[in-house]
Chain A
């Protein structure tokens, strides 16, 4: 065994984020004991997130190399995922600042937990060893569980976090079970050794059982049907900025790992492809169907996140054949980035509405969105843009993302899957547009405009998201090139 200190550079984004979390935690305890001013924490967290973003983008051009004797890897794919995570964290910190301040709920550990979870996500994207994957997974998940319960006074956040914790532990256990099987079959926890076992032809039933269990563990994290049950309750109960961060970050990291395990660990074999295809069918269908009757925007977005997991699974399935694998990986990365920008923006708007509801004591119903355009035309326009992007209508990022994903599926001879995806995305319009309708509907009763200042920072984040969504839709060239360069590692 050899240790090369240079390997630490390869995990720089994760290190930066972890360091930021430690800085915040330590600074927290030396604050004035009475009425401490914690506003700096948001900006420190944002600064570290930005540093992480910069680090991951700076490493983008580096050649792919294994780190820590093959326990992790530094390649373009991981760096792009890390960049998406850091960007999501950066935007979420800004949104959370305005949200928490206006609810007077800024307590110590929020930003530190967010940084910890993001560092887990970055590591997750790089890990190529089942033990490292598990540890990163837990670093990410435990912090996210805590974030979900952050507004602990309400009944729903506590319940949501508890459910997430119980079911998440369940999924972790399943993953661990699969990892044990994999170890039993190949005698190693390295994905490369696993792949060698699969290639050697001496693969046993044990190997495939392990593949199924590992896939199930991450299917839970990406919210694929039938492992999706936690999503609506958790998305609904968690504070909106956290939900946005979860939807963008957890999804990106979990998909990256799923791809890593399946492609790097279980190789070419069409064996896992058929199952991912089945999961994709089921997830697109159920996610879109169940979103239709929702009247709470947060719950609708939760089901929509399930549906989007289905579209992302289409890209994963397309990676099951070697010909368009790099294309499909690029489509996956592009989709993750576009979905991240859209969903963080959407939840930022939800956060503003949610705090209005929290202050006025109304329930989260579509009707509370009526007339938003009258009081906040820019907010209404941004929300419509995000909904349209989620629905996959041009000229937004969502359209480009769906186009590239479905195209890669067609190239992988998954034509029925692509057509099914197109059709379900049409069904999706039904519920996305309902939000747009309400936003532009003339309100029946004169409700007050959103009270409380600090709209500015949230507004900046929303504007940033809207800009990215439009940019990726109108001028996707540079983003697509980035995604392709990151996906090149799968071009073998």
Chain B
């Protein structure tokens, strides 16, 4: 099978993963079996590790949170594109494609700005309507 040839460089990764997994399992098991367990109510409380929890841990978040988070992620990821562009711009210029790359990014930014205007005007960024 030729397919295996493609996968062979990844063999060390696989071995590493296996090793890490086995080690974790071993340490966890050792702690469970070897450590003494004498539990009292005082020991169960949080001691200098945060505050006592109040109410249900499955609390509801406002849907607006997701909306804003989603929009943030979208624009964040889009703007990440600018980074490789910036680092390659000189190479483009050397090949005589400087203006092309510039216009390309401008149109990309314009489209992105249009999206931002849309989101803004639609009121998706307003926390309280």
A204 touches B118 (CB 8 A): no
A25 touches B6 (CB 8 A): no
The interface bits of chain A over 2-41 (1 if a CB of B lies within 8 angstroms of the residue's CB, else 0) are 0100000000000000000010011011100000000000
Chain B residue numbers with a CB within 8 Å of A29 are: 117-118, 121-122
Chain B residue numbers with a CB within 8 Å of A289 are: none
Q: How far is the CB of B15 from chain A (nearest CB, A)?
A: 22
Number of interface residues of B (CB under 8 A): 13
Chain B residue numbers with a CB within 8 Å of A25 are: 114, 118
State whether A206 and B6 are in contact (beta carbons under 8 Å apart), knowing that A3-B100, A22-B111 are contacts in the complex.
yes
B111 touches A206 (CB 8 A): no
B2 touches A30 (CB 8 A): no
B1 touches A30 (CB 8 A): no
Chain A residue with minimal CB distance to B96?
A2
Chain B residue numbers with a CB within 8 Å of A30 are: 121
A205 touches B97 (CB 8 A): no
Cα distance, A221 to B74, chains bound together (Å): 26
From B2, B114, B118, B122, contact of A205 by CB (8 A): B2
Query: Is A184 an interface position by the 8 A CB rule?
Result: yes
Chain A residue with minimal CB distance to B104?
A3
B121 touches A22 (CB 8 A): no
Q: How far is the CB of B37 from chain A (nearest CB, A)?
A: 44
The interface bits of chain B over 117-129 (1 if a CB of A lies within 8 angstroms of the residue's CB, else 0) are 1100110000000
State whether A184 and B111 are in contact (beta carbons under 8 Å apart), knowing that A25-B118, A29-B118 are contacts in the complex.
no
Query: Is B54 an interface position by the 8 A CB rule?
Result: no
Cα distance, A205 to B2, chains bound together (Å): 7
Cα distance, A108 to B118, chains bound together (Å): 11
Chain B residue numbers with a CB within 8 Å of A28 are: 118
* Residue among B100, B117, B121 having the largest count of chain A Cβ atoms under 10 Å: B121
Given pairs A26-B118, A108-B122, A206-B6, 18 additional interface contacts (CB within 8 A): A1-B95, A1-B97, A3-B97, A22-B114, A25-B114, A25-B118, A26-B114, A26-B117, A28-B118, A29-B117, A29-B122, A30-B121, A184-B6, A204-B2, A204-B3, A205-B1, A206-B2, A206-B3
Name A's B-contacting residues (CB within 8 A). 1, 3, 22, 25-26, 28-30, 108, 184, 204-206
